[in-house]
Amino acid sequence: MNTAVSPQDLQDLIDRYGEDLTLWPMSHRIPAQELIDECQEARDIIEQARALRRALRGMGDRAPDCFSDRIVALALELDPPAEDIVWLWKKAN
């Protein structure tokens, strides 16, 4: 079932799925594409996301795979409850 999306919804979907609509679930892809076709604000949002991706690709090599593990290890030494950090790490991986 396809539902309409707003520019704010589009930004949220881009944040979750990235700027490549072909990788999105079909239930989100079609209404998002319709919004982009009809709305300048939506076209600006998607273009900004694509420009950011291009800029990030131009930054060179990726960080080593162990980098996120080191960040989590350091974060566990800080004040936030460990279960919050572990939850965020699991969500990201």
Per-residue pLDDT of the chain (93 residues; tens, 9 = 90+): 457 899 999 999 999 999 999 999 999 999 999 999 999 999 999 999 999 988 888 777 777 778 878 887 777 777 656 666 666 667 776
Domain co-membership, 52 together with 13: yes
Q: Give the integer Cα–Cα distance in Å for 9 and 83.
A: 29
* Other Cβ atoms within 10 Å of 59 Cβ, number: 7
Position 30 in a domain: yes
pLDDT of residue 1: 44
Q: Looking at the structure, tell me whether residues 78 and 50 fall in a common domain.
A: no
Task: Return the number of other C-beta atoms located less than 10 Å from residue 86's C-beta.
Answer: 13
Residues 51 and 12 in one domain: yes
CB atoms within 10 A of CB 45: 21
Give domain status of residue 2, yes or no.
no
Residue 68 and residue 40 share a domain: no
DSSP-assigned states of every residue in 5-55: --HHHHHHHHHHH-S-GGGS-HHHHHHHHHHHHH-HHHHHHHHHHHHHHHH
